[in-house]
Structure 1
Amino acid sequence: MSHQEDWLALAAVPGLGGQRIDQLLQHGSVSELRAMPEPMLLSLGLKAPQIALLRRPKPERLNEALRWCEQENQHLLVLTDPAYPRLLKEISSPPPVLFIRGDPRWLSEPQLAIVGSRSASLDGREAARDFAAALVAADYVVTSGLALGVDGYAHHSALKNGGATVAVLGSGLGRIYPAAHRELASQIAAQGALVSEFWPSEPPRPQHFPRRNRIISGLSVGVLVVEAALKSGSLITARYALEQNRDVFALPGSIYAPGSKGCNALIKSGAKLVESPVDIFEEVGILTRCAKSSQLSVSLPHPENEQLPFHAVLANVGNEATPVDVVAERCAQPVHEVMTQLLELELQGVVTSVPGGYIRTRRG
């Protein structure tokens, strides 16, 4: 059997999460595990029905997944692949396989998740759009769950503003849910990636969505909750983020608005109150650098001999917003000259303007 077939057979065994699979792989590769005598597999903690499925997976299910992976722009990433996103691999139970439609490279770029209510208010929708636009301007991938409401507005805004976005589904990628977002899903596949740990024909089920939420937070360097009721799937994502040592951000809201009670509760519990994208950029530096450094081999390289202008100005713009007058003071140059240089650097994609000044992009 092929490498893909071996991993699909392993992923089809019920009761084996990423952590358990990692323990099994300490005793051999997937193909070696499948060839082990039954007594040895029993000694490793597998049960007889699990061993039977590992050795003889249901052919119709296996063939369905293999056919899906053969189609254009559709991929399978397994836990041991070099391109498997490093941040996701570090969570307590990473998915053994990921079905992807789109470019798998985006899963290893620094991502920030935006999640929130399906019945978002006008302010919530506007915030989702504005924050998504600011994040992609700073070269972050916007990650969410393709749901109606905040998720959809965040995905739309990322695409509209020329950025990439990743949608993690609680169904198989052959069963796009919700149906109202099928066209959006097609756009995301062309300009980002759709991701699911569920087999392509798997329908959406209530128990799938908490599992989906751990992937949203696991891929991301931080999670922004825009609007959420006290009992909300967005709060599940936030809890996973805390368990995974990710930053959690929340927009404050009226004490009288049910849709703000979840965000306000998160802030009371220690989430960072956010009023602008700068509040996020101040916190996510370490994990962002980790995500960048882990995937140099799959990132698009820039020419080594590329020379950037205005070194004095560029040296005084970092990952936190710096006002123009501060940059001018540090460079000992007139404000109007520094402004001209910053505008040219922005046109080259080296810096970007945010509330409070300028920050450097990854290209810078």
Structure 2
Amino acid sequence: MGPSLFAEAGFDERQEKEALVALSMAPGVGPGRIRSLVARFGSAAAALQAPARVLATVPGIGPQTAAAVAAFDGHAAVTEQFERAERVDATLVTAWDPAFPPLLREIYDPPAFLWVRGTLAEADAKAIAIVGTRRATAYGKQVAYDFAAGLARHGFTVVSGLAYGIDAAAHRGALEAGGRTLAVLGSGVDRIYPARHARLAQAIIEQGALLSEYALGAAPDAPNFPRRNRLISGLTRGTLVVEAFETGGALITARLALEQNREVFAVPSPVHSRAGVGSNRLIQQGYARLVLSVEDMLAELGLILDEPPDEPAPVPPPALDPLERRLYDALDDTTPVHIDTLCTRTGLDPSTALVYLLNLEFKGLVRQMAGKQFFRA
């Protein structure tokens, strides 16, 4: 990718990035006002040097905001941001940089910059968001995982929010299929939330990126997440809602996707599932297209499918002792099986079965879902 527009215009790249961060710290200045200031003065650095009376003439910048920009005295805080970024190997990608996600430029209120840990790629222009409840069922997690893996095999980047439940399952599905995935945070990229997803976040950095418009060190405060959700939908061609209660962040993301003129899809849930009421309503009310497979989604988008790579020949599991083999043969490749059902199939008592299932997990042959349900890895 080539240099940013600022570099082409002869501005110092580091100085310009520092100025953009400084503007974002000035009271009353958000992404829209930053864009207005840059459009008027040609750069953020020039806007910071302008007197208040001139700043006040910029559309959308009133006297109070102009005074706040002209009086900005937080350069130590700006320096601290870049020091924090260096410690976690984060970079600042501005809206004027060729690396900035092109689909995100098209939304009504794009960020002026993103903090990035990992890498952005041209392939990320072909992205789908997968969202849903944190309190997902085993069914919802499996569906999210399968759709993400399928999308990854077709060359799509999977975007989600690193939360428990559907988000985590979607990220893992993309990663384990060898694809790219982006996680958009409602905190600074150096504040992994939830903290238990630190290892997952590291894997995402290695096969994609963590993104945030919030300052490094920013806490995962509740008001951040609805605003964060516009980036999840804005980065993608469409949003898939897997499971959603009657209210929640996934429905906010779906609404934002519709406002951004992006497609919304939903997977149906069982009619008695409280976790799927919101996603079922999206389908019922015509806000989301019902999909049962990745191919359904891509057909709705009118996209030409990349042929997924040939499935590798099945690799026989390593030598197993008789009880491990009995359990392994009683499991399914895709549908989780409850421990009680496994005991019925194998004639083992639950405590013995769990010991040998744990052995199979250590060998990477079995995965455990919530509620003591298992399937072959």
State the partner residue of 1:139.
155
Shift of 1:269: 2.7
Indicate if the aligned counterparts of 2:55 and 2:66 stay in contact, CA closer than 8 A. Answer: no
Matched with 2:24 is 11
2:55 to 33, 41, 46: 41
Q: CA RMSD in A?
A: 2.2
Q: What pairs up with 1:1-364 in 2 under 5 angstroms?
A: 2-28=15-41, 29-44=43-58, 45-48=61-64, 51-53=67-69, 56-71=72-87, 73-105=89-121, 108-270=124-286, 271-285=288-302, 318-319=304-305, 346=310
Contact 1:221–1:246 at 8 Å: present in 2 too? yes
Output the CA distance in 2 between the equivalents of 1:39 and 1:107. 44
Does structure 2 conserve the Cα–Cα contact (< 8 Å) formed by 1:106 and 1:193?
no
Q: Separation in 1 of the partners of 2:114 and 2:123? A: 10
Q: Determine helix, strand or coil for the equivalent of 1:248.
A: strand
Between 1:238-247 and 1:41-50, the stretch displaced more is 41-50
Partner of 2:340: none
Structure 1 distance, partners of 2:171, 2:33, is 33
Scaled by the length of structure 2, the TM-score of the pair is 0.73
Change (3 A) 1:20 1:107: farther
CA displacement, residues 231-262 of structure 1 (integer Å, 9 cap, x when unaligned): 11000000000000110000112222111110
The structure having more radius of gyration, on CA atoms, is 2
Matched AA of 2:291: V
Give the partner amino acid of 2:237.
V
TM-score (norm 1): 0.76
Q: Distance in 2 between matches of 1:203 and 1:50?
A: 28
What letter is aligned with 2:301? Answer: V
CA–CA distance in structure 2, aligned partners of residues 19 and 70 of structure 1: 27
Distance 1:142 1:167 in 2: 9
Question: Displacement of 1:55 after TM fit?
Answer: 5.2
Once the two structures are superposed, what CA deviation does each residue of 1:181-234 show, in whole Å capped at 9, x if it has no partner? 011111111111000111110001010000110000000110000000011100
Judged with a 3 Å threshold, the aligned counterparts in structure 2 of structure 1 residues 183 and 11 are, in CA distance, closer, same or farther, namely same
Matched residue, 2:348: none
Aligned length: 295
Query: What CA deviation, in whole Å up to 9, does each residue of 1:288-336 have, x standing for no partner?
Result: xxxxxxxxxxxxxxxxxxxxxxxxxxxxxx439xxxxxxxxxxxxxxxx
Supply the distance in 1 between the matched residues of 2:122 and 2:165 (Cα, whole angstroms). Answer: 23
Residue 104 of structure 1: SS of its match in structure 2? coil
Q: 1:55 and 1:127 mapped to 2: Cα distance?
A: 52
Quick check: 1:106–1:164 contact (8 Å CA) kept in 2?
Answer: no
Instruction: Check whether the contact 2:123–2:156 (CA below 8 A) recurs between aligned residues.
Output: no
CA distance in structure 2 between the partners assigned to 1:152 and 1:14 by the alignment = 35
Percent of residue pairs bearing the same amino acid type: 41
**2:27, 2:65 within 8 Å by CA — same for their partners in 1?**
no
- CA drift of 1:282 comes to 1.0
Greater relative contact order (Cα < 8 A, sep 6+): 1
Determine if contact 2:34/2:44 at 8 Å carries over to the other structure.
Answer: no
Runs of 5+ unmatched residues, structure 1: 287-317, 321-341, 349-364
Q: Report the Cα distance in structure 1 between the residues aligned to 2:63 and 2:19, rounded to whole angstroms.
A: 18
Q: CA deviation at 1:68?
A: 2.8
Deviation, 1:71, is 4.3
**Aligned counterparts of 1:251 and 1:54: Cα–Cα separation in 2:** 51
Structure 2 regions of 5+ residues with no counterpart? Answer: 1-13, 313-377
- Over 3 Å counting, the alpha-carbon distance change for 1:155 and 1:346 in structure 2 is same
